[in-house]
Structure 1
Amino acid sequence: MKSPRVSGLGIVLGTIMLTASICGASAQEKPQEKSPDKSQGSAEAVWPTKGWQTSTPEEQGMDSASLAKLVAYGTGRSFDSLLIARHGKIVLDTYYAPYSADIPHIINSATKAVIGTLAAMAMKDGLLDSTDHPMLDFFPEHGIQVFDDRKKAITVQHLLDMTSGIDWREPTDGLPVTFFQMERSPDWTKFILDRPMSNAPGDIFNYNSGNPHLLSAILTKLTGMSAEDFAKARLFGPLGIDEWRWRRDPQGVSTGGNGLALLPRDMAKIGYLYLRSGQWEGKTLLPPAFVEQSSHATINMNLRFEPAFRYSNYFWALPDRNVYMAVGYHCQVIMVFPALDMVAVTTARDFYPFGVVTDLISGAVKSDTALPPSPDGANLLANAVREVSTEKPNEVGTTPETAAAISGKIYTFPGNGLGLKSLSLTLTGSQPRIDLEFFDRDPTAPSRKVGGPIGLDGRYQKGDTTPAGVSAAKGSWSSDHTFLLRRLILGAGLAEQKYTLSFDDEKLSVRGIDRNGREVSVDGGSWRKS
C-alpha cells in the first residue's frame, strides 16, 4: 500500500490530532455491571481472516429493536459507520450515506493502539527485549540538545503509557500546540528527542503524540523496516487486512500518533484480536500479558469530562463498564467488551457522549445464548439501516440565470483562512461539476487540486480520491446570486464543510468556517477557461 509522505493535507489533516475530549461521557451514566470474561473460548472461536460471518442479533443474544435505536442515534451524531460483532459474527454493519463500506477511514489517534500492538509483537518475536528498555538506547546517533538524567530514565513502557515526562502541550480538550510544531519540523524524531522534560518519567499522565512516533521510529530500528511494512507482515497479513493507507514523516517513518486509514471491518479485526487475548487461528500473535495489561489499565488520565478513564499501552479503559478501546479524534473507536464477547467499531465526523454509546451497545445484549426470532425487531432494524444508508433527493428548483453566467469561470483568491486558492463551477448541462484548489500549509509545497461531480438534488456526488479520502460535494441556490456549497472528505472523519458563494458580476465572495472554528470571508475575481 502506498504511504503518502507528510505534505500539505492542510485543513484536512491539520486538526485530526486533537484526541478525544473527544467522546466525552456524562456524569449520569449507569456503570455496566461486571460479569465473567467470556472472551477466552478461542478453541471455538470464529476467525474472520477471509471475511466476517454475519448473524441476526437475536441469534447472538442481542435485541434488534435496541440496535435500531442505536442506528438512529448515530444520524444525529454524524456517524460514518457502526459495526458490532458478537461471538465472532457481525450482527450490525451500517454505513451512513454518503460514506460507504469500500472507503478506508482515517482512524486518527487509534493509530497509536496499532503502534502499541506492533511493539508487543516485536517483543514476542524477541526483537524488543523488554518494555523496560531505556528509550535513548535506540537513538545513539542523535545529538540531543536538551538532556538531563530524567530523559535517560524514559523507557518504552513510559512511551506506551503516556508517562514519558517530555514537555508537550496536546490536551485532550484543546489545541495540540506541540503536535502542530512537530508537523512543521523537518525531522519529527529529532524534534521530540530535543524537547525538554517537564516531569520525571512515570510521574503523571500527559497525552503526547510524540511518544508513539518515537516508538514507530524504534520499531523501524528493531525490524529494519517501517512500522507499516512490519504491520503488513505480522499484523495485517495474518488478520486478512489488505487495504490501508499510512502517512509517513519526512524521514519515511510511519506516523505513530495518527495517519492510518482502515476499513471499519478491518478495524473490528484488530479489536477481535484483543478480544481473543492475542490469539488468531491457533497462533499467538500478541503476548497475552500485554493484552491483559491493556484491558486492565490503571493509569489515571485525569480527564475532567470522565474521571473514570484509565490508560495503558495506548488503550483507553472504563473499568466500571468492563470495556477498553482504541480512540481517535471525532470518535474513531475500536471497543472491546470482554465480558460480553463483543467488539464494536464507530467511525464518525464529530464527537459523541461516549458513555451513552457504550451503554446503548451493551444494553442491546440480553442473553449469552440465542433469543427467539423477532420479526418486528428485525423490521425496525432493517428500516433504520435503510434510512441512514440512502440519501433522499430533493426537488431541484428553478436554476437562475447566474448559473450559466458563472459556469466554467475560474475564480482565484489571495491567501486566506479557508486555504482556498481557486474555485470553478459548471452548473449547466447534464454533468454539473466543481473544481477546487487549496493552498498548502507549507508555503514551499505545491497547491492541491480536487474536483468531481456536484449533486444539485440534495445528494452528495463522489469525486476525486485525495490522500485523506474521497471528495464529495453537493449544492443548491438559495437566491439568484447565492449558491450554498457543501463538501465532505469521505473517510477523513472531519465535519461537513459549508460555504456560501455570493456572485456579483466578475467577483465571488466565499464565506465559510476555518479550521479553528472562525467564520472567514474571502473575495476573488474570475477569468474564463480557454
Structure 2
Amino acid sequence: MKFSFYIILLLCTLSISPIHLTVSDNDWTPDYWPTDGWQISTPEEQGMINNRIQDLDNYIESSDWTNNLKSLLVIRNGYIVYEKYRFEFTQTFPSNIYSCTKVITSSLMGICLEEGYINSLEDPILDYLPDLNIQNMDPMKERINFRHLLTMTSGLEWIDETDYYSMMDSGNPAEYVLSKPMDSEPGQEWNYNTGCSHVLSTIINTVFENGTANLAKNSLFDPLGIANYLWTGDRFGVPNGGTLLNLIPRDMAKIGYLYLNNGSWDGMQLISKEWVENSTRSHIELDFARNFGVGYGYKWWIYDWKDSFSARGSLNQNILVLPAENLVVVTSGAGYFPFEDLVDDYILSGTSSSLVPWIIGGSSVAIIAATAITSSILKKKNK
C-alpha cells in the first residue's frame, strides 16, 4: 500500500492529462453495419477486461433476482462482446419492450419534422386533430404542442398508468387522453403519461398518408434490417405509441446503435443529427429520479453516467447508450434486477478506460501500477 501511495502522489504532482481509449463520434467510423446481423468479438479485442465480464456472468447466475433477467447484450465498438439468454428467450424471440416503444415513436416524430409532415414542434397539437371531439377544453389545452408531448410536460391529468387501460378500452384513445382535464400549464410540470405517446402516434398516422406502421417500416425498420417484430395497434389500427412493440434484443440494440451514430446508418441519415442531439439531452430535471437519471429528453431518460441516455420499459427492458465508451447495453426482463449496478460495477469497470492511461512529461505510460493499487482506487465510478 505504501508503494500505491507514492504512485498516486507522483501522478498528482506531475503535469498530467488523460487519454481516453475510447474514440469520439468525430473520428470513429464503424467497421461494418449490423443491418444483416451483429458480428461477435471478444471483450479483449474491444478494449474490455474479460475477467470483469466473467464476474458479471457469475454475479447474474448467483443472485436471488436471477430469474428476472431474460437477456443481456453488451455491444462495444459495434461488436457483441457479451450475450446472454435465459429460459424461453433466444436470439430470435421477440418480446414486448413496453415503454422502450416510446423512443421509436419519438424517432418517427423526428422523421416527420425533417420531411415536413409537421411544421414545428411548437405547433399546437390540436391543429393536427381537428376531427376529435375533445372535452374539458380550456386555453391551456390549446397551448399543448409537440415538444410538450415529447417531454411528458403536457399538463394533462394522468393519475397513474392505470389510465392507460382506460384509454385503450375507450371508444377513441387519442380523444380520451386529450379530454382529460388540465393539471398545469403545458411545459411546467413533468408527469409520466403513456397516453401522450399514443397521441403522437395518432398524429403521425394522420399526417403520413400511409400511416405510422408504414412510416416505421419504410423509414426505420427496413433500413436497420429489423423484420422480426410486432407492433400492436388500437381499435383503429394505429400502433400504440407508448408500448406493445415486440422486438428481439439484437434489434433493440440496433436502435441504440443508430442513436450512438447520431442517426446515421450505412451511408443513410435515417434520423437527423439535430434530432438525436435534442432527443438525448435533458429538457427537464427529474429530482425524484436521482438514483437512475437526472433528466428527460424526447422519450429518452438522461443519465449522469458519461452523458449516457436510455430507453426504459416496464419489468426492466432497457436500451442504454454510453457514447463516451462506444457502448450499447440492452436488457429484457420480467421484474426487478439492479440494472444500474450491472452497468456500473461490471460493464463500465470492465472497459479499458477504467485503467486510465496518462501522459507524463510527454511520454505515454500505461498504469502498470494498477496491479499494485487497490481495485477500489482504480474503479471509476460514474454515477
TM-score normalized with structure 2 length: 0.82
Aligned to 1:316: 301
SS of 1:363's equivalent in the other structure is: coil
Bigger CA drift: 109-118 or 294-303? 294-303
Q: Is the 8 A contact 1:296 1:319 kept in 2?
A: no
Aligned to 1:132: 122
Q: Distance in 2 between the 1:115 and 1:62 partners?
A: 33
Are 1:231 and 2:216 counterparts? yes
SS of 2:352's equivalent in the other structure is: coil
Q: Distance in 2 between the 1:367 and 1:202 partners?
A: 39
Query: Once the two structures are superposed, what CA deviation does each residue of 1:480-512 show, in whole Å capped at 9, x if it has no partner?
Result: xxxxxxxxxxxxxxxxxxxxxxxxxxxxxxxxx
Q: Distance in 2 between the 1:348 and 1:185 partners?
A: 29
Aligned to 1:55: 41
Are 1:69 and 2:55 counterparts? yes
Q: After the TM superposition, which residues 438-477 of structure 1 pair with which residues of structure 2 at under 5 Å, given as runs?
A: none
One-letter code of the match for 2:321? V
Which residue of the other structure, out of 242, 254, 263, is the alignment partner of 1:257?
242
* Percent identity of equivalent pairs: 35
Q: Distance in 1 between the 2:88 and 2:94 partners?
A: 13
Offset of residue 34 of structure 1: 12
Q: Distance in 2 between the 1:357 and 1:196 partners?
A: 41
Q: Is the 8 A contact 1:34 1:320 kept in 2?
A: no
Offset of residue 41 of structure 1: 3.9
Query: Once the two structures are superposed, what CA deviation does each residue of 1:32-73 show, in whole Å capped at 9, x if it has no partner?
Result: x99787234454452101111111110000112211222233
Q: Distance in 1 between the 2:23 and 2:275 partners?
A: 17
SS of 2:34's equivalent in the other structure is: coil
Aligned to 2:141: 151
Offset of residue 358 of structure 1: 2.2
Aligned to 1:162: 152
Distance verdict in 2 for CA 1:238–1:66, change over 3 Å? same
What 5-or-longer segments of structure 2 have no aligned partner?
1-17, 356-383
Aligned to 1:355: 340
Aligned to 1:204: 189
Q: Is the 8 A contact 1:42 1:279 kept in 2?
A: no
Q: Is the 8 A contact 1:71 1:82 kept in 2?
A: no
Distance verdict in 2 for CA 1:307–1:72, change over 3 Å? closer
SS of 2:35's equivalent in the other structure is: coil
Q: Distance in 1 between the 2:342 and 2:281 partners?
A: 21
> Which has more strand, going by share of residues?
1
Aligned to 1:332: 317
Q: Is the 8 A contact 2:151 2:283 kept in 1?
A: no
Q: Distance in 2 between the 1:305 and 1:62 partners?
A: 28
> Which has more helix, going by share of residues?
2
Query: Once the two structures are superposed, what CA deviation does each residue of 1:452-483 show, in whole Å capped at 9, x if it has no partner?
Result: xxxxxxxxxxxxxxxxxxxxxxxxxxxxxxxx
Distance verdict in 2 for CA 1:34–1:198, change over 3 Å? farther
SS of 1:334's equivalent in the other structure is: strand
Q: Is the 8 A contact 2:292 2:340 kept in 1?
A: no
Offset of residue 318 of structure 1: 0.8
One-letter code of the match for 1:249? D
SS of 1:232's equivalent in the other structure is: helix
Distance verdict in 2 for CA 1:68–1:168, change over 3 Å? same
Q: Distance in 1 between the 2:19 and 2:126 partners?
A: 41
What 5-or-longer segments of structure 1 have no aligned partner?
1-32, 171-175, 370-530
Aligned to 1:25: none
- Structure index of larger Rg: 1
RMSD: 2.1
Q: Is the 8 A contact 1:37 1:338 kept in 2?
A: no
Query: Once the two structures are superposed, what CA deviation does each residue of 1:410-444 show, in whole Å capped at 9, x if it has no partner?
Result: xxxxxxxxxxxxxxxxxxxxxxxxxxxxxxxxxxx
Query: Once the two structures are superposed, what CA deviation does each residue of 1:74-107 show, in whole Å capped at 9, x if it has no partner?
Result: 3433211111111111111211123222210210
SS of 2:223's equivalent in the other structure is: helix
Aligned to 1:240: 225
Q: Is the 8 A contact 2:348 2:354 kept in 1?
A: no
One-letter code of the match for 2:52? S
Q: Is the 8 A contact 1:86 1:341 kept in 2?
A: yes
Q: Distance in 1 between the 2:83 and 2:305 partners?
A: 27
Higher relative contact order (CA 8 A, sep 6+): 2
